[in-house]
Amino acid sequence: MLPSEATLAGIIVLVDRQERGNSTTTRQSTVQEISDEFKVPVVPIVGMSDIIAWMERKGGMEKELEQMKVYKEKYGAEGL
């Protein structure tokens, strides 16, 4: 198949950091903005919320967990 014949069907993201997108008019995440722009699903393997939940269950990483939560509070998209 030549590149001009290819059709984007979707995007897989290893880690979705669940950050706010660049839009000043919406509160969408970056992943939501990409999905809207290219009209395809964007599917993360794991999200930042999943990592935080795992760290809370596992224990022993309180410093790192707090840093993750601070990052998410500062840069995270609403509702994620």
Q: Note the pLDDT tens digit of each residue in 50-74.
A: 999 999 999 999 999 999 999 999 9
Q: Is the pLDDT of residue 1 over 60?
A: no
Residue 2: predicted pLDDT: 63
Residue 64: predicted pLDDT: 97
Q: Count of CB atoms within 10 A of residue 43's CB?
A: 12
The DSSP bridge pattern shows strands 11-16 and 42-47 to be: parallel
Q: Kindly report whether the global pTM for this prediction surpasses the value 0.85.
A: no
Q: Is the pLDDT of residue 26 over 90?
A: no
Residue 28: predicted pLDDT: 86
